[in-house]
Amino acid sequence: MSNSIPNIKSYEESYSNFSWDIPRTELGYSDGNTINIGEYCSDRICKLGYADKLALIWEGFTGEVRKFTFNDIRVFANTIANFLKNLGLNPGDRVCLFMDKVSELYFGFLGILKMGGIAQPLFSAFGPESLFTRLDDAKTSAIITQKKHLHKVRATINDLPSLKHIIVVDDDGTKPLKEREIAFHMEKEERIEKFDSYPSKAETPSVLHYTSGTTGKPKGAQHVHYSIISQYISAKYALDLKEDDIYWCTADPGWVTGTSYGIIGAWANGVTQCVLDAGFKAENWYKFIEKHKVTVWYSAPTAIRAIMKEGNEIVKKFNLSSLRHLASVGEPLNAEAVIWSKEVFGLPFHDTYWQTETGSIVVSNYPEMKIKPGSMGKPFPGITAAIVDLKTFLPIEKKGIVGMIALKPGWPAMFRTYWNNEETYNNKFKNGWYLSGDRASIDEDGYYWFVGRDDDVINTAGHLVGPFEIESALLEHPAVAESAIVGKPDPVNMEVVKAFIALKPGNDPTKMLELEIMNFIRKKLSALAMPQEIEFVDSLPKTRSGKIMRRVLRAKEWGEENGDISTLENDM
Ligand code: WT7
- Work out the pLDDT band at 3, boundaries 50, 70, 90: low
HEC sequence for 422-436: HHHHHCCEECCEEEE
Read off the pLDDT of each residue in 278-284 and give the average, rounded to a whole number.
Answer: 91
Q: Which residues pair with 180 in a beta bridge?
A: none
Shared-domain flag, residues 266 and 415: yes
Question: Exposed (0-12), middle (13-18) or buried (19+): which is 29, by Cβ within 10 Å?
Answer: buried
Residues 30, 115: Cα–Cα separation, whole Å: 22
Residues 207, 203: Cα–Cα separation, whole Å: 12
Shared-domain flag, residues 310 and 433: yes
Percentage of residues in the chain with pLDDT exceeding 90? 92
Q: Which atom of ligand 1 is nearest to the CA of 256?
A: 3
Residue 152 neighbours by CB distance under 10 Å: 20
Residue nearest to atom 17 of ligand 1 (CA): 353
Classify strands 94-98 and 142-145 as parallel, antiparallel or unpaired: parallel
Does the residue 567 lie in any domain? no
Shared-domain flag, residues 438 and 463: no
Q: Name 510's Cβ contacts closer than 8 Å, sequence gap at least 6.
A: none
464 Cβ below 6 A of ligand 1: yes
- Tell me: pLDDT of 568 over 60: no
Instruction: Give the per-residue pLDDT at 565.
Output: 53
Q: What are 523-540's pLDDT values in tens digits?
A: 999 999 999 999 999 999
Cα of 330 vs centre of ligand 1, distance in Å, is: 4
Q: Name 376's Cβ contacts closer than 8 Å, sequence gap at least 6.
A: 333, 351, 352, 353, 363, 364, 365, 440, 447, 448, 449, 450
Nearest to 431 by CA among 468, 458, 395: 395
Cα of 311 vs centre of ligand 1, distance in Å, is: 26
Instruction: Give the per-residue pLDDT at 571.
Output: 39
299 Cβ below 6 A of ligand 1: no
Shared-domain flag, residues 534 and 429: no
- Work out the pLDDT band at 251, boundaries 50, 70, 90: very high
Residue nearest to atom 24 of ligand 1 (CA): 330
- Tell me: pLDDT of 413 over 60: yes
Shared-domain flag, residues 505 and 420: no
- Work out the pLDDT band at 152, boundaries 50, 70, 90: very high
Instruction: Give the per-residue pLDDT at 279.
Output: 87
Instruction: Give the per-residue pLDDT at 562.
Output: 65
Q: Which atom of ligand 1 is nearest to the CA of 354?
A: 3
Beta strands in 365-432 (DSSP E): 378-379, 385-388, 403-407, 417-418, 429-430
Read off the pLDDT of each residue in 354-362 and give the average, rounded to a whole number.
Answer: 98
Domain hosting 489: range is 459-558
93 Cβ below 6 A of ligand 1: no
- Tell me: pLDDT of 253 over 50: yes
Percentage of residues in the chain with pLDDT exceeding 70? 98
Shared-domain flag, residues 347 and 409: yes
Nearest to 406 by CA among 426, 380, 432, 427: 432
304 Cβ below 6 A of ligand 1: no
Of the candidates 397, 413, 442, which is a domain's last residue? 442
- Work out the pLDDT band at 1, boundaries 50, 70, 90: very low
Helix (H) or strand (E) holding 227: none
Of the candidates 385, 411, 442, which is a domain's last residue? 442
Shared-domain flag, residues 518 and 378: no
Residues 282, 475: Cα–Cα separation, whole Å: 38
Read off the pLDDT of each residue in 226-237 and give the average, rounded to a whole number.
Answer: 98
| 219-224 sheet: strands from edge to edge | 181-183, 165-168, 142-145, 94-98, 118-121, 205-211, 219-224, 417-418
Read off the pLDDT of each residue in 48-59 and give the average, rounded to a whole number.
Answer: 98
Residues 330, 202: Cα–Cα separation, whole Å: 27
380 Cβ below 6 A of ligand 1: no
Question: Exposed (0-12), middle (13-18) or buried (19+): which is 13, by Cβ within 10 Å?
Answer: exposed
Shared-domain flag, residues 421 and 472: no
Does the residue 301 lie in any domain? yes
Residue nearest to atom 18 of ligand 1 (CA): 332
Residues 149, 99: Cα–Cα separation, whole Å: 8
300 Cβ below 6 A of ligand 1: no
- Work out the pLDDT band at 307, boundaries 50, 70, 90: very high
Q: State the sign of the Cα–Cα–Cα–Cα dihedral 170, 172, 175, 177.
A: positive
With contact defined as beta carbons under 8 Å apart, do 67 and 56 qualify?
Answer: yes
With contact defined as beta carbons under 8 Å apart, do 486 and 550 qualify?
Answer: yes
Shared-domain flag, residues 416 and 464: no
Q: What are 162-221's pLDDT values in tens digits?
A: 999 999 999 998 889 999 999 999 999 999 999 999 999 999 999 999 999 887 889 999
Please tell me the least confidently modeled range out of 22-26, 228-232, 471-475. Answer: 471-475
Quote the number of domains for the chain. 2
Read off the pLDDT of each residue in 58-87 and give the average, rounded to a whole number.
Answer: 98
Residues 353, 492: Cα–Cα separation, whole Å: 19
Instruction: Give the per-residue pLDDT at 569.
Output: 47
79-109 residues labelled b (16+ CB within 10 A) or e (exposed): bbbbbbbebebeeebbbbbbbbbbbbbbbbb
- Alpha-carbon Rg of the chain, whole angstroms? 23
Shared-domain flag, residues 125 and 232: yes
Instruction: Give the per-residue pLDDT at 572.
Output: 34
Read off the pLDDT of each residue in 87-98 and give the average, rounded to a whole number.
Answer: 98
42 Cβ below 6 A of ligand 1: no
Read off the pLDDT of each residue in 32-41 and give the average, rounded to a whole number.
Answer: 98
Q: Which atom of ligand 1 is nearest to the CA of 457?
A: 25
376 Cβ below 6 A of ligand 1: yes
Shared-domain flag, residues 188 and 333: yes
Does the residue 47 lie in any domain? yes
332 Cβ below 6 A of ligand 1: yes
Q: Probe ligand 1: pick from 299, 354, 358, 375, max atoms within 8 Å of CB?
A: 354
- Tell me: pLDDT of 438 over 70: yes
Residue 270 neighbours by CB distance under 10 Å: 18
Q: Probe ligand 1: pick from 223, 450, 454, 455, max atoms within 8 Å of CB?
A: 450
Q: Which atom of ligand 1 is nearest to the CA of 212?
A: 21
Residues 342, 350: Cα–Cα separation, whole Å: 11
Does the residue 297 lie in any domain? yes
Read off the pLDDT of each residue in 474-482 and give the average, rounded to a whole number.
Answer: 95
pTM (2 d.p.): 0.94
Provide the total of helices (H) and of strands (E) in the chain, helices listed first.
19, 27
Does the residue 284 lie in any domain? yes
SS3 content of the chain, % helix, strand, coil (to 5): 30, 25, 45
CATH code of the domain in which 331 resides: 3.40.50.12780
Q: Probe ligand 1: pick from 355, 441, 465, 495, max atoms within 8 Å of CB?
A: 355
257 Cβ below 6 A of ligand 1: yes
330 Cβ below 6 A of ligand 1: yes
453 Cβ below 6 A of ligand 1: yes
Shared-domain flag, residues 469 and 374: no
495 Cβ below 6 A of ligand 1: no
278-292 residues labelled b (16+ CB within 10 A) or e (exposed): beeebeebbbbbbbb
Residues 451, 432: Cα–Cα separation, whole Å: 23
Read off the pLDDT of each residue in 291-302 and give the average, rounded to a whole number.
Answer: 97
Cα of 329 vs centre of ligand 1, distance in Å, is: 7
Does the residue 6 lie in any domain? no
End-to-end CA, the chain: 59
Per-residue CA distances from 67 to 60, 64, 241, 279 (Å): 12, 10, 20, 20
